[in-house]
Chain A
Amino acid sequence: MIVAREKTADTVPWRDPLLLRWLLFATALAAAPHAVFQPAWVVAALAVAMLWRWLIEQGRLPKPGWLVRALLAVLLLALVWNQYRTVFGRDAGVALLLVLFGLKLVETRTPRDYAVSVLLLYLVVAGGFLHEQTPWVAALAVLTIVTSLVTLIRLTQPTTIDARRSLRLAGALLLQALPLMLVLYLFFPRFTGALWSLPGAGGAGLTGMSETMQPGSLGEVMESTEPAFRASFRGVVPPPEQRYWRMLVLWQTDGRRWDRGALPPGRERLTAGGPEYRYQLILEPNRLGWLPVLDRPVETPLDALAFAGNVYERREPTRERLSYELSAWPQARDRALTSFARHAALQLPDTLSPRVRELAERLRAGRDDSLAVAQAAFDHFRREPFVYTLRPPRLGTDPVDEFLFETRRGYCEHYASAFVTLMRAAGVPARVVMGYQGGEHNPAGNYLLVRQSDAHAWAEVWDETRGWVRVDPTAAVAPARIERGSEAIRRLEASGLNPGSLTDAALTRAIEFGLFERLWRRSQLTLDYANLAWYRWVADYGAERQSKLFEGFGWPRLTTAQLIWMLVAAFALALLFTLVWLSRQRTTLDPARRQYDRFCRKLAHAGLARAPHEGPLAFAERCSCQRSGLATTVSEITRMYLGLRYGRVPAAGLPELRRRVADFSV
């Protein structure tokens, strides 16, 4: 009786010595994503709270009193207010949650505190998703949930269990939750719009092209290897020389700067023909509302507005990833050129230099077909010592003139700008197209990865029979740029070679990758694919995909309310089954034991709670010691119960026990 007599039910419940370590570990994991998005002091406050709690556990710091805690709460609230001027909304709300969670951590002591802390931790984890729903945040969330489960397991396990066993148990719990998670994921109602409007990320930090073009404007964009978009094709992937992604068309120039001009919205009528490339495009956020489409589009993507030149703009800049499906018809024909568009495509700056005009006239002489004129200009670029370089000399007030006759060094936008100016001067309607050219084929997911560095500008000239024809003057100077991509050009540039002057074999040698570089690139591509897959299957799963899924099951289109009712009904059903099952379990309980439990409950109401491990005799004795008035009754009921439950001849005295317990009152 040493055991039961000395330790009674009201001593502090036993606790796992490693419990706090697990909770702090889970906290650190949950806070990790916030460290990126929240101001440093918020995360620091949480870290200080963790350290503080740790020192309290070590006995090196005292527990803070309620006054200290209250003052701290007010201080933290004020700090959050100072940072955000509000305590509501995403950022301020999450900051408040983090700092107050730290405070809760400091006062965590009883098992109940631990349980509450873990539940709050789940809110912190959910808060991480408000910023970003990327795979790494999700991976951290899963890790956090595993560690928090370990915390809960260690909290509720009666004895210390080792780390491996608790981790295995947590893993098993998580796996068991997986079906439920999938059901909720697939069937939980999705909303077409955003549920709440998150503050936009703004244009800061985003690279991408601008809506105008002037010498050097694309240079910055082309330095960036950030992905611009990814396109996966249904069927054949177009060859490199077909990979022209148009984004916007520039009509108007003042000699230096090109812009969209004043053409009103309206689509150009195209006759589809030739091969079709069907693709899904996933666009990264950028500063513009313009959508890149593969040459040449016939339909309008999403809810965008079509503009002359088969370009499409949405009302809002692309702040979040966007995906759309479209077809490209490289051999599609235009039907006619409106007089308005023709006028715009012949617009020239007043400051056009005589030298340019003279060159245009020379190109025009003797050729009546506009394509022949374009070919002559193309040949001119090839024949004359033009150099493709990403680091051209700066150009002055008349860049076209300077570029054509003096510097002769530049990249796509210089060539496109000069070429279109020449065409117009020669009387051929022409326009500048901006977008992307190329894209790296990712074998891991069979899609094209187009980076910002693939940004490109080229020209289109109007031919009366064939419509708008793409002419890329850059190809005349540096075919490698078109055939081998911007990455190859950058490598050549770095090695100081002129891409235009190299033979094919020399080019191949110059841009060949070493083994490690290849492996590195390969792993980068695989990573990129993982990122894309995550987006497609997890982050992009919205109302539209959900209803598509339901259609796949052959279900009718369900409204949000119907979905919610279905879910509620399903859960109610599951709950009912569990209850029935639990009550079945209950009936197997020994009847004498049930009476004894009733008896114990009555005593517990009087402040005499039996600990689960306390032997009935020891408990009876404790009751008699604390309430001598109860001694006889308690010992009699205990004796009857023990005889029924542990004796050789049970069941005889059960009605008597039931009566005695019913009559018993404290």
Chain B
Amino acid sequence: MTAPAPRPLPSAQSLETVIARAGEIVLGKTHVLRLAFACLLARGHLLIEDLPGVGKTTLAQVLARVLGLHFKRIQFTNDLLPADILGISIYQADSREFSFHPGPIFSQVLLADEINRATPKTQSALLEAMEEHQVTVDGVAHRLPEPFYVIATQNPHHLVGTFPLPESQLDRFLMRLELGYPDHQAERELLKGRDRRELLEALAPALDGKALLAWQARVVEIHAADALLDYVQALVEATRRSADFSEGLSPRAAMAWLRAARAWALLSGRQMVLPDDVQAVAVPVIAHRLRPAKSGEPRAALVERLIRSVPIP
């Protein structure tokens, strides 16, 4: 968002610092980084989808580190079991009791690498935890730490050996981002510079969990006027009317969209949501929730066409 931002909040500066620091490692992807931060500010889980080797995992790690969050990573494979994520109750011979050994999900950021390599059973175990922010093992509910994020990466579906996430589960992710290839200059810098992993080790957090929670609370306060809600509703109705998509957006998706737009407005240092904000987060928020009526049409293009078809009220 480079448009003139009227009177930035004094503390918005710290968010800019976060993004700038992340940008030192993830080169030339400021826009994607901003979207990712907006997603996290809006308490949303993030799905990063792209070809192997364009820096998905690096982005996820950078996000966790720069926000100063406790971070764990699981490499998803097709033999991964739900217990490998959630944890397991083991019988202790000495105390003659079952005691719960928490799995890697008990962290503030869980990086689920290549989520679409796991079987649907394992995927759904994770997705339940994402929705409820708690894990139930042997009838006992265990709260997950706050904030809690899942940042999942996945390869595009047409690669062999994957279990694509169904639409209903994709819905749990607030945004789906695509990184794309770096531009010429960024790639040159990548080639010249030091190894990303080393840099990552050296990356100092610019925020901590508490501060992030405070920011999250402020997202909710961002004002969405009736005129803006009219616009969001018009867009949502257009998805339901359009023959481009087999079905329209759900009310939950509409709420998610508005939340993301609020976060985007906050990142831009504004206290009200503008139609521009709604448009800015449109593709990451709704493209993965809509199924094209005809397969093979790029979703992003369809969403852009949809946006262009709805006048701002």
Q: Write the residues of chain A forming the contact surface with B, with a CB cutoff of 8 angstroms.
A: 1-4, 7, 14, 158-162, 165, 590, 593, 611-618, 620-621, 635, 639, 642-643, 645-648, 650
Contact = CB atoms under 8 A, between A and B. Distances in A.
A2 B243 CA distance: 23
Contacts of B283: 2-3
B227 A617 contact: no
Interface string B267-301: 00001111110011011000000000000000000
A647 B228 CA distance: 10
A586 to B, nearest CB: 14
A3 B274 contact: no
Given A14-B309, A159-B305, A647-B225, A1 B243 contact: no
A647 B272 contact: yes
B310 A613 contact: yes
Contacts of B193: none
A615 B272 contact: no
Interface in B1-59: 1-4, 6, 31
Contacts of B271: 647-648
B207 interface: no
B242 interface: yes
Contact of B308 (A7, A621, A643, A647): A7
B307 interface: yes
B255 interface: no
Interface string B240-264: 0111100000000000000000000
A263 to B, nearest CB: 76
Contacts of A616: 274-276, 312
B4 A635 contact: yes
Contacts of A647: 223, 225, 271-272
A296 to B, nearest CB: 69
A635 B241 CA distance: 35
A618 B272 CA distance: 16
A646 B312 contact: no
Contacts of A161: 241-243
Interface in B150-206: none
Contacts of A611: 308
A275 B241 CA distance: 68
A593 B4 CA distance: 20
A646 B244 CA distance: 30
10 residue pairs, one from A and one from B, having the closest CB atoms: A612-B311, A158-B309, A615-B276, A159-B242, A162-B243, A617-B276, A617-B3, A160-B243, A648-B223, A646-B225
Interface string B98-132: 00000000000000000000000000000000000
B80 interface: no
A593 B241 CA distance: 26
Nearest to B279: A3
A4 B311 contact: no
B238 interface: yes
B306 interface: yes
A620 B242 contact: no
A191 B199 CA distance: 93
B304 interface: yes
B268 to A, nearest CB: 9
B241 A159 contact: yes
B3 A618 contact: yes
Interface range for B = 35 or more
Contacts of A639: 4, 6
A647 B224 CA distance: 8
Contacts of B307: 3-4, 613
Nearest to B244: A160
A1 B280 contact: yes
Q: Considering residues A1, A165, A614, A618, which has the most beta carbons from chain B within 10 angstroms of its beta carbon? A: A1
B311 A613 contact: yes
Given A3-B279, A645-B225, A159 B273 contact: no
A344 B244 CA distance: 85
A161 B275 CA distance: 24
B276 A618 contact: yes
Given A159-B309, A160-B244, A639-B6, 10 more contacts: A2-B283, A3-B280, A3-B304, A160-B243, A615-B276, A620-B4, A643-B6, A646-B223, A646-B273, A647-B272
Contacts of A593: 227
A1 B244 contact: no
Nearest to B223: A648
B3 A621 contact: yes
Given A4-B279, A642-B274, A613 B312 contact: yes
Contact of A642 (B31, B244, B272, B305): B272
A650 B228 CA distance: 14
B238 A158 contact: yes
A646 B275 CA distance: 9
A646 B274 contact: yes
Contacts of B225: 645-648, 650
19 contacts: A3-B279, A3-B308, A4-B279, A14-B308, A159-B238, A159-B306, A160-B243, A613-B312, A615-B279, A617-B4, A617-B276, A618-B279, A645-B227, A646-B225, A646-B272, A646-B274, A647-B223, A647-B272, A648-B271
Given A160-B243, A639-B6, A645-B225, A1 B279 contact: yes
Q: Considering residues B2, B273, B307, which has the most beta carbons from chain A within 10 angstroms of its beta carbon? A: B307
Contacts of A3: 279-280, 282-283, 303-304, 307-308
Q: Considering residues B2, B273, B280, B310, which has the most beta carbons from chain A within 10 angstroms of its beta carbon? A: B280
Given A3-B308, A615-B274, A645-B225, A160 B242 contact: yes
A158 B2 CA distance: 29
A162 B294 CA distance: 12
A615 B243 CA distance: 24
Given A615-B274, A616-B275, A645-B225, A165 B243 contact: yes
Q: Considering residues A3, A14, A650, which has the most beta carbons from chain B within 10 angstroms of its beta carbon? A: A3
B264 to A, nearest CB: 10
A611 B275 CA distance: 13
B65 to A, nearest CB: 27
Contacts of A642: 272, 274
Contacts of A159: 238, 241-244, 305-306, 309
Contacts of B1: 1
Contacts of B244: 159-160
B10 to A, nearest CB: 19
A604 to B, nearest CB: 15
Contacts of B2: 621
B246 to A, nearest CB: 10
Nearest to B304: A3
Q: Considering residues B3, B238, B280, B310, which has the most beta carbons from chain A within 10 angstroms of its beta carbon? A: B3
Given A639-B4, A646-B225, A612 B304 contact: no
A6 to B, nearest CB: 8
A617 B224 CA distance: 16
A252 B121 CA distance: 106
A617 B243 contact: no
A158 B311 CA distance: 9
A620 B3 contact: yes
Nearest to A18: B243
B241 to A, nearest CB: 6
A642 B5 CA distance: 12
B39 to A, nearest CB: 16
Given A14-B305, A165-B243, A158 B310 contact: yes
A646 B276 contact: no
A646 B312 CA distance: 12
A147 to B, nearest CB: 17
A534 to B, nearest CB: 37
Contacts of A1: 1, 3, 276, 279-280
Nearest to B273: A646
A268 B242 CA distance: 77
Given A590-B227, A646-B227, A614 B4 contact: no
A615 B264 CA distance: 15
A605 B48 CA distance: 44
Given A160-B244, A639-B4, A646-B228, A614 B312 contact: yes
